[in-house]
Amino acid sequence: MYCGNMNKTQLLEELEKMDTQLSNLISGLREKPEMKISGSLHCCSRGSKIEFSHILEDGRRVYIGNDSRELLVSLARKKHYGKMLEAAENEKHQISRCIAVLKSGRGISDVDEVYGSLHEGIRKLSGPLTITNDSYAIQWYRKNSKFRKQTQKLTGNLETMKGVKVSSKSEVIIADRLDAAGVPYIYEITLGLDGGDQIRYPDFMILNKRLRKTFLWEHLGMLDKGTYCTDAQVKLEAYARNGYFPGRNLLLTFESERMPLSTRYVDSLIKEFLL
């Protein structure tokens, strides 16, 4: 890995994932009931009013009044979905071409393979220009572990399989699943938000070694408690103000008295975002 960016293999994986997502989007759009409606919608602004017409297959234009709300909505969605379909197909075509070029190897130099291809004598004299993902993870841990919360107010004396003290059984599960997957993490790091005016202690700070990308993981464990839900909303809005968004760099798990934490869901988050 060089300069913290993806190499060719990793880029291919991400492009292929995007290609699959676009294929699913295209299939879903094509199956929308609105896409099967005959004709299209035409809009015309007249002063402060908007007039709608139904353009039939034979070219005739029929005025649609507000009393035909269901037809208006269906035709509007057909127009919207049609534009989305066109954009998705165009983007998929571009990504497919990128994948083909990368796989062909024409004009592509995978810099991560250069050092290993050198003669042993050259390698000994020069030394590696890059560091491995594992070495990067060690540096990441050393850099961030000094910000761990110093005083942990634990609700119980709970430990993970590797001896990390955490506050709840669900956090034990999450930590053990991360350890099993070989994903580096730091428990309850001190994080300054809003320019340092607000301090938060996210349950986990995590590293995706392959992408060299840092995530936060929050477990919301008492969603059936009214005050807890309010506090969780305030917390998530604070994260959003500071650039942490669910599905981008913030992972969330949930739990209530009736619905315990799902280990299958934990594993799916790890597989999707952290490996």
Q: Is 204 exposed, middle or buried (0-12, 13-18, 19+ CB in 10 A)?
A: buried
Given pLDDT bands bounded at 50, 70 and 90, which one contains residue 38? very high
Q: pTM of the prediction? A: 0.56
Percent of the chain clearing pLDDT 90 (strictly above): 40
pLDDT score recorded for residue 89: 94
One domain for residues 141 and 247: yes
Answer yes or no: is 122 within a domain: no
pLDDT score recorded for residue 86: 93
Q: In CATH, what number is assigned to the domain containing residue 224?
A: 3.40.1350
One domain for residues 254 and 208: yes
Q: What is the pLDDT of residues 134-150, one digit of tens each?
A: 888 888 898 888 888 76
- The interaxial angle of helices 8-30 and 69-104, nearest 10 deg, is 150
- pLDDT, averaged across the chain: 85
Given pLDDT bands bounded at 50, 70 and 90, which one contains residue 107? very low
One domain for residues 140 and 104: no
One domain for residues 143 and 72: no
One domain for residues 103 and 138: no
Answer yes or no: is 75 within a domain: yes
pLDDT score recorded for residue 129: 66
Beta-bridge partners for 253: 219
- Closest C-alpha to 73, from 52, 57, 87, 55: 52
The label of the residue with tokens 């001190």 reads 190
pLDDT score recorded for residue 150: 63
pLDDT at 47 over 90: no
One domain for residues 142 and 80: no
pLDDT score recorded for residue 56: 92
Given pLDDT bands bounded at 50, 70 and 90, which one contains residue 270? very high
Beta-bridge partners for 262: none
Answer yes or no: is 216 within a domain: yes
pLDDT at 174 over 70: yes
The last residue of one of the domains, among 76, 111, 146, is 111
Answer yes or no: is 118 within a domain: no
CA 174 to chain CA centroid, nearest Å: 18
Domain that holds residue 214: 133-274
Given pLDDT bands bounded at 50, 70 and 90, which one contains residue 112? low
One domain for residues 139 and 84: no
pLDDT score recorded for residue 123: 76
Answer yes or no: is 3 within a domain: no
One domain for residues 193 and 250: yes
Total number of domains in the chain:
2
One domain for residues 149 and 267: yes
Decide: 26 and 84 in contact? Cβ < 8 Å. no
Answer yes or no: is 160 within a domain: yes
One domain for residues 187 and 247: yes
Give the Cα separation of 170 and 260 in Å (integer).
8
pLDDT score recorded for residue 155: 44
Report the pLDDT averaged over residues 31-39: 92
pLDDT score recorded for residue 7: 62
Q: What is the pLDDT of residues 208-256, one digit of tens each?
A: 998 889 999 999 988 887 788 888 899 999 999 999 999 899 999 999 8
One domain for residues 104 and 137: no
- What is the C-alpha end-to-end distance of the chain, expressed in Å? 15
- Closest C-alpha to 6, from 213, 205, 246: 213
The last residue of one of the domains, among 47, 77, 111, is 111
Given pLDDT bands bounded at 50, 70 and 90, which one contains residue 183? very high
One domain for residues 264 and 193: yes
Given pLDDT bands bounded at 50, 70 and 90, which one contains residue 1? very low
Q: What is the pLDDT of residues 65-101, one digit of tens each?
A: 888 889 889 999 999 999 999 999 999 999 998 888 8
Sign of CA pseudo-dihedral 48, 80, 244, 11: negative
Answer yes or no: is 170 within a domain: yes
